[in-house]
Amino acid sequence: MEESVRNIRQSFEEDIKNATDAGLLESIRVKYLGRKGLISELMGHLPSLDKEKRPRLGRELNLLKRHIQRELQRKQQLLPSGRELEGEKIDITMPGILPEEGHLHVITKTLNEINDIFVSLGFQIAEGPEIEKEFYNFEALNIPLEHPSRDAFDTFYITDDILLRSHTSTVQIRIMEKIKPPIQAIMPGRVYRPDAVDASHSFMFHQVEGLMVDRGIKFSDLKGILNLFTKRMFGEKTKTRFRPSFFPFTEPSAEVDISCIICKGKGCRVCSHTGWLEILGAGMVNPVIFEAVGYSPRKYTGLAFGMGVERIAMLKYGIDDIRLFFENDIRFLKQF
């Protein structure tokens, strides 16, 4: 009987040495400590032993059992656990679970970019109503009733003299009526024109208007500011060109073109092979406007400009259809 205990101890020492993984360890546990294991088998023999021998052997068996338990536990901790082994087996090529992220609309993004550039140049941001008196949309801007210069401004009407503004220039007048110079502000907002919708027309779009009124504001300032703007918006290499044009509320007036960002000025489909893209209307505030709002045209001069946000976003991000902005296809929204 003592012999058996010794043998078990020996064979266990041997087995535990060779146990290299959790599976083997488990079979060792079953072999020695299992319900039908070697230890319980010997325990089963105990009652048949001599009364003197029984306690001693019982103690020894218990010690052995505890020893085996301890050793198994110790070994278990040394080996990587079964759960961990399982974890090692994940397929790392399965796709990662992306955190949910939201996106600002590309128009908001573009507007923010435009605003930030002008804010950094000292412009403040102002807003005006979309439902506007006809006066602010036309007469106050030197666009007389029934004049061909109105052709560019087809307009949605609500009543005979209330309309949806067709440009943000209305806010210029509202600001000038409210405060005295100096003024340095940009005015972003929605405008509406009854245009049939197609790839390049929308009956609603966004504009940003700019106005600066002070003593000694010059046309060269207009050029300087807008040149800075286009470079920051479209990249340092962008060239800007000012072409004489006509707007009733500015004099002299200019259309501002940038070198085509697609072909870098070589000529392509986007720029109709001219190498230039029209992005802004601008000019010096017509003194007639100052008179109408009660500013002295002798004292003050001003510069003004206006741009279409959709147009700028289309050029900057290579978007070829204005309808995409308002369809809000989630696959479109998530790209920006």
Contact flags string 92-111 toward other proteins, x per CB under 8 A = --xx-xxxxxxxxx-xx---
- 214: contact with other proteins by CB under 8 A: yes
- According to CB under 8 A, which one of 24, 43, 79, 121 is a site residue for other proteins? 121
Considering beta carbons, is residue 168 or 184 the nearer one to other proteins? 184
- 135: contact with other proteins by CB under 8 A: no
> Which residues neighbour 305 within 8 Å (Cβ) at sequence distance 6 or greater?
209, 210, 222, 226, 256, 280, 281, 282, 283
- 113: contact with other proteins by CB under 8 A: no
Considering beta carbons, is residue 105 or 232 the nearer one to other proteins? 105
Whole-angstrom distance, CA of residue 279 vs CA of residue 285: 19
Query: Total residues contacting other proteins (rule CB under 8 A)?
Result: 87
Min dist. Cβ of residue 315 to other proteins (A): 18
Min dist. Cβ of residue 70 to other proteins (A): 35
Residue 146 phi/psi, 5-degree rounding, is 55, 45
- 287: contact with other proteins by CB under 8 A: yes
> Which residues neighbour 109 within 8 Å (Cβ) at sequence distance 6 or greater?
313, 336
> Which residues neighbour 319 within 8 Å (Cβ) at sequence distance 6 or greater?
106, 313, 325
- 185: contact with other proteins by CB under 8 A: yes
Whole-angstrom distance, CA of residue 254 vs CA of residue 250: 9
Among 19-27, 58-66, 176-184, 258-266, which window interacts with other proteins (CB under 8 A)?
A: 176-184
Q: Which amino acid, 34?
A: G
- 319: contact with other proteins by CB under 8 A: no
- 190: contact with other proteins by CB under 8 A: yes
Whole-angstrom distance, CA of residue 219 vs CA of residue 302: 9
